[in-house]
Amino acid sequence: MSSTYGEKIKISVFGESHGNGIGVVIDGLPAGVKIDMDKVLVQMSRRAPGKDKTATPRKESDLPKVLSGMLGDTLTGAPLCAVIENTNTKSGDYGNLLNCPRPGHSDYTAYIKYNASNDIRGGGHFSGRLTAPIVFAGAICRQILEEKGIKIAAHIASIGNVSDDSFNPVAIDDELINKLNNSTFALIDESVEEKMRAEVESARLAQDSIGGTIECAVSGIEAGIGEPMFDGVEGVIAKAVFGVPAIKGIEFGKGFELSKMRGSQSNDPFEYKDGKVVTKTNNCGGILGGITNGMPVIFRAGVKPTPSISKEQDTVDLQKKENAKLVINGRHDPCIVPRAVPVIEAVTAVAIINLL
């Protein structure tokens, strides 16, 4: 199982949703950097369940215990290991999934790949809960990035058919970044919140779930970072973003919309501004030839609807080898998008630090 990402700064995520605990080992961190653990906890709390009305009511303390790699508040340079205990699990809810895989979840593919030895409880290693240690790792990486003037922010770009404003692609405001970095329902235009919540509520009442998109921006990143071809900035970020469960798409800049434009519309014209080369627009999302051009790096990720829904679904019974009906018990978010926002920021931080 490859739950490891990165070369210069490598994160290895371990654990299962209803096992003893989950956690992460981060290799390659620079020694001597002071970490503000309160800021790390803010990020973890944004992702934790039960913090927002759209989230599962399951409440977990999600407090990371640092086992190694820090002396007081300073990184020692040794592998940083943080563990989060699993304290609030109701494995009984998963009994009927042992033989009947949930449509849309990893139950069937994990059953095949691991010969039914995988821990199915709570989705095991495939659970959204495993994003808690990812957020921990990202929160450490982004503090190191912030020292270099690089800031990362994401927001809920859409839920169902309701959309937020987009980032100004050529200049991301620090105040906006700060607001989004501290929000559990991160929006640029807060007036759409009620409509988005109504979309989620209507899905929940229909015993269903709903998806959406997340827009993420990296500001303060200089030109010339990234490699051509397979180690380009798009590839490095996409690999990290696809590590997040339920992400099914990613587009940089104007993405697929570019395919419908003329070159004269899609090209970002250059100009000198305060002695610096910038572009007037940012349709390419700050990346040309896999290399940053000094403009904000901007991408959107598509989040699918939560696979576990309470509506009855068709599945199969793998023991009896016959068709079956499935009713899923347990506590599941009708919409993953708000909680996935800090996760997308976190994986982006881990990707960017590896590119530097």
Chain residues in the site for ligand FMN (CB under 6 A): 56, 105-106, 123, 126-128, 131, 244-246, 304, 306-308, 332-333, 336, 339-340, 343
Tell me whether residue 131 or residue 282 sits nearer to ligand FMN (CB atom).
131
Residue nearest to ligand FMN (CB): 128
Tell me whether residue 126 or residue 167 sits nearer to ligand FMN (CB atom).
126
d(C-alpha 315, C-alpha 322), whole Å? 9
d(C-alpha 72, C-alpha 268), whole Å? 47
CB of 168 to ligand FMN, least distance (A): 27
d(C-alpha 85, C-alpha 62), whole Å? 7
d(C-alpha 62, C-alpha 47), whole Å? 10
Q: Nearest 5 degrees, angle CA 84-CA 89-CA 94? A: 130
Tell me whether residue 268 or residue 333 sits nearer to ligand FMN (CB atom).
333
CB of 72 to ligand FMN, least distance (A): 31
Q: Nearest 5 degrees, angle CA 326-CA 103-CA 193? A: 105
Closest listed residue to residue 136, CA positions, set 356, 343, 351, 354: 343
Place of tokens 């599941």: 332
Closest listed residue to residue 349, CA positions, set 23, 29, 20: 29
Tell me whether residue 215 or residue 268 sits nearer to ligand FMN (CB atom).
215
CB of 346 to ligand FMN, least distance (A): 11
Tell me whether residue 251 or residue 333 sits nearer to ligand FMN (CB atom).
333
Tell me whether residue 105 or residue 121 sits nearer to ligand FMN (CB atom).
105
Q: Which two tokens stand for residue 295?
A: 């403009």
CB of 134 to ligand FMN, least distance (A): 9
- The conformation of residue 70, written as its DSSP 8-state character, comes to E
Say whether 62 sits in a helix, a strand or coil.
coil
Q: Which two tokens stand for residue 125?
A: 């290693």
Say whether 129 sits in a helix, a strand or coil.
helix
CB of 331 to ligand FMN, least distance (A): 7
SS3 for 286-310, per residue? CEECCEECCCCEEEEEEECCCCCCC
CB of 126 to ligand FMN, least distance (A): 4
CB of 282 to ligand FMN, least distance (A): 27
Tell me whether residue 242 or residue 281 sits nearer to ligand FMN (CB atom).
242
Tell me whether residue 13 or residue 246 sits nearer to ligand FMN (CB atom).
246
CB of 249 to ligand FMN, least distance (A): 11
Tell me whether residue 70 or residue 110 sits nearer to ligand FMN (CB atom).
110
d(C-alpha 346, C-alpha 350), whole Å? 6
Closest listed residue to residue 49, CA positions, set 328, 303, 344, 331: 331
CB of 242 to ligand FMN, least distance (A): 8
How many CA atoms lie less than 13 Å away from 233 in the CB half-sphere? 30
